[in-house]
Amino acid sequence: MKVLELTRSRLAFKIIAGALLAVLCVNSVFAQTYGKGRHIEPAFEGWRPNDDGTFNMMFGYMNENWEETPNMPVGENNNFSPGDMDRGQPTHFLPRRNRFTFEVAVPSDWGDRELVWTLNINGVERKAYATLKPDYLVDNMIIASETGSLGAGTSSPESRANIPPVVTVQGDSIRTAAVGEPIDLRAQIADDGLPQPTDLVEEARRFVELTEGGSLAAAFITAEAIQNQRLMSPPIKVTVNKVNGLYYSWNKWRGPGDVIFNPPQVKVWEDTRTSANSPWGVLWLPPPIPEDGIYEVNAVFTEPGEYVLWGRADDGGLYHDAWITVNVSE
């Protein structure tokens, strides 16, 4: 009983300490964040080789705004150089940090040249410089670590065995629609089931059983207790912390108006707020996987024009992307 009481006391202390830290930090956090009006930092994430001898440069970005999602067409304020200024980059930018968002292929003889992505958002110009220097070589473990599936510098047999999910969009890659009328989007996702979805209760029970109170104390660990503790605890990793589990999400990549998805989609950007529908949110749980592996969504467009929709399947560690074009009339 003494061991059990000691374990409870330690848990209570951790919860109280976490709550005090959260209260002390809240004002400084709000002072350092912005809803709108800030710029976007393009980011070179690294490169990886292709089987045919070419290379893929990997890019993402950091939108300094929590709410504003700027649109910037390809041109003077959103371009690549040298060569074609349009390399498939987004013209619609989601909030906050978006890692490994897209890739640009360069030929096998690229050498030591730089590929430069220039963005000018809200009057501030920023550039990302991509090179094939060995220090920037990326593999699956780096992707999983940088996105928060793994701790920095760690891996496991399971994570090393993981392969990305595979997306197969059902239907045509170019479609038509009308403003205000929903279109159906169906995508089939194949995955190897790795990494296994995060089970916070089992992880906590194993930790307590091995380090503190044994099996008796572990039996008192509940989902509610874990959620309460996570709500009050500061981050424990030097990188972002991501919940592992398969999901599929559609988002607007390019287009003049808004796109409304039903049901609401899991966020592909690092929304770390507690209740966010985001793998980086403390209380997020992976959605159920359809029995047939087909994810069904409908999309409604608010303005006419050409849109590109981006779908991402993510198992927590690795991802696979797909795009479709939709021409929307009045």
The string of pLDDT tens digits covering residues 6-57 is 444 444 444 444 444 444 444 444 446 799 999 999 999 999 999 999 999 9
Residue 289's contacts (CB-CB under 8 Å, 6 or more residues apart) are 189, 246
Phi/psi of residue 160, each to 5°? -70, -25
Contact indicator for 119, 63 with CB cutoff of 8 Å = no
Question: What is the mean predicted confidence (pLDDT) over 281-310?
Answer: 95
Reduced to 3 states (helix: H, G, I; strand: E, B; else coil), residue 295 is strand
Tokens standing for residue 283: 């209380």
Q: What's the pLDDT tens digit per position in 223-265? A: 676 666 666 666 556 568 899 999 999 999 999 999 999 999 9
Residue 15 is predicted with a pLDDT of: 44
Among 158-162, 182-186, 288-292, the range scoring the smallest mean pLDDT is 158-162
Q: Spell out where 30-182 has E strands.
A: 40-49, 55-63, 78-81, 96-106, 115-121, 124-130, 166-170, 174-178
As to burial, measured by CB atoms within 10 angstroms (0-12 exposed, 13-18 middle, 19+ buried), residue 156 is: exposed
Report the distance separating Cα 271 and Cα 241, nearest Å: 11
Q: Is there a contact between 245 and 197 (Cβ–Cβ < 8 Å)?
A: yes
137 SS3 class: strand
pTM for the model stands at 0.83
In sign, the C-alpha dihedral spanning 275, 281, 285, 290 is: positive
CA distances for 97 relative to 35, 63, 146, angstroms: 14, 6, 12
Per residue in 124-151, pLDDT (tens digit) is 999 999 999 999 999 999 999 999 998 7
What's the confidence (pLDDT) of residue 229?
63
Is-cis flag, bond preceding 195, omega within 30?
A: yes
Q: How many Å apart are CA 89 and CA 255, to the nearest integer?
A: 12
Structure tokens at 91: 């013209």
